[in-house]
Copies of this chain bind each other. A is one copy, B any other.
Amino acid sequence: MNVRIPILKLYDYLLVSIQWELDDHTAIQFQEDLLSKIHQTGAKGVVIDLTSIDMIDSFIAKVLGDVVSMSSLMGARVVLTGIQPAVAITLVELGIGLNDVFTALDLEKGLEKLQSELGE
């Protein structure tokens, strides 16, 4: 079965909730899907909610870092929400460059952050 992560469009934003651990194929598919959805919709921001993820491996961490950089290049700000301790540790230990990413506690706060940063 070809599993994809659903990407919801809400006004100028895309919302994604990752609710299970991704395998490598699904992660790459997600990266492609998200970038083409940004292109299609002209979304100005993306919220990726990781609340349900309590651990990530180095490959997924890298894909996540790449998604953030690629989305920024395409003009969409990314907010990561609900990052749990072990996920934060993995990201930092691997030196994944999340400098230009916003973070927030949950989906609502992530959306609010985007709205305030994008001046609406």
Contacts and interface: CB of A to CB of B under 8 A. Distances in A.
| Chain A at the B interface: SS class | loop
B15 A8 contact: yes
- The oligomer's copy count stands at 2
A2 B15 contact: no
Contacts of A70: none
A114 to B, nearest CB: 13
29 contacts: A1-B1, A1-B3, A1-B23, A2-B20, A3-B3, A3-B20, A4-B19, A4-B20, A5-B6, A6-B6, A6-B17, A6-B18, A6-B19, A7-B17, A7-B19, A8-B8, A8-B15, A8-B17, A8-B49, A8-B107, A9-B106, A9-B107, A10-B10, A10-B15, A10-B107, A10-B108, A10-B111, A11-B108, A15-B15
